[in-house]
Amino acid sequence: MSLLLKKHPALAWIALVVFASLCSLAVVWAQKNHAPAPAAPVAPNEPKPKPHPVTIKPGPATPRLDTGLKDPTGQPITAACSTCHSTTTPNVARNSAHDLFQAHRGLDYAHGSLTCLSCHNAKDYDTLHLADGRGVAFPDVMTLCAQCHGTAMRDYLHGSHGGMNGHWNLAQGPRVRNNCVNCHDPHHPKFPLVRPVLPPRDRISVPTGH
């Protein structure tokens, strides 16, 4: 190597020039790469606009029973649950409506091993109750559901359970979320079978599995 350089000193100069140009290129490249870096942390310091709200649809209004009668203006006459239930004796063991002959006939009930009074409040039939006996108004039913369905509630709170509408980016617009009972019938929470819509009519078929 040294012999070669002695023979051709110009080679050393060429090597030096190449090395120098590579160095300057590297510096330029490094500057290019590092230049935008300080710009990034600036953005989060800017005042963030107040995010739009996430609204959860309210639960059902306090139910009333249709008596089948009409008032003089033609409006149906309804009665509060407590109207009848104030005169009946609560049956804590009741877990089905199949043998009822007055109200609640035909109620399709399938919700685990729960009884009516697991959720309905025998002290005030116009409300529901939590496991510890505290009353809950019908529109706040999600608190009640969450007692048993903790994992579903956890996912719901993280936005990975339950349907929604509106904006993914709350800086740009609001979001409306479904309540538990918008999708699940509390007396029969399992989804019913549905007929699928819009069968595909592809001209080029994909494997059909047949």
Partner 1 sequence: MNDPTPASPKTSCGSGCSCASAPNDEGNSTRRSVIKGLGATLGVAAYAKALAPLTELTKETSMDEFLQKHYKELSKEEIATVIARLTRETKEKYGADVTISDPKPQEGVKFGYALNLSICNGCRKCAEACHLENNHDRASHQSYIRVFEMSKGSMDFEKGNVHYDHPVPQPDKYYMPVQCQQCEHPPCVDVCPVEATWKENDGIVVVDYNWCIGCRYCEAACPYHARRFNWQKPQIPAAEVNPDQGYLSNRIRPQGVMEKCTFCLHRTRNGRLPACLEACPTGARVFGDLNDPNSEVRYVLENKRVFVLKEELGLKPQFFYFFDE
- Report the nearest approach of partner 1 to the CB of residue 149 (Å): 12
Residue with tokens 């043998």: 99
Identify any residues that bridge with 79 across adjacent strands, giving them in sequence order: 65
Nearer Cβ to partner 1, position 121 or 179? 179
CB of 56 to partner 1, least distance (A): 13
Nearer residue to partner 1 within complex by CB, 34 or 158:
158
Interface residue list for partner 1 (CB under 8 A): 43, 151, 155, 158-169, 171-173, 175, 178, 183, 191, 193-204, 206-210
Helix (H) or strand (E) holding 112: none
- For partner 1, give the closer residue by CB, 35 or 43: 43
Strands 64-70 and 54-56: unpaired
**Nearer CB in complex with partner 1: 75/208:** 208
Give me the torsion for CA of 190, 191, 192, 193, rounded to 10°. Answer: -120
3-state secondary structure of 109: coil
Rounded to 10°, the helix 141-148/150-157 angle is 120
**Cβ proximity to partner 1, 100 vs 183, nearer residue:** 183
**Residues 164-173, buried b or exposed e (16+ Cβ, 10 A)?**
eebeeeeeee
Return the number of the residue (91 or 169) whose C-beta is nearest partner 1.
Answer: 169
Nearest to 141 by CA among 187, 202, 104: 187
Q: Are 88 and 128 in contact (CB under 8 A)?
A: no
- Report the nearest approach of partner 1 to the CB of residue 188 (Å): 15
Residue with tokens 């009848």, as numbered in its chain: 84
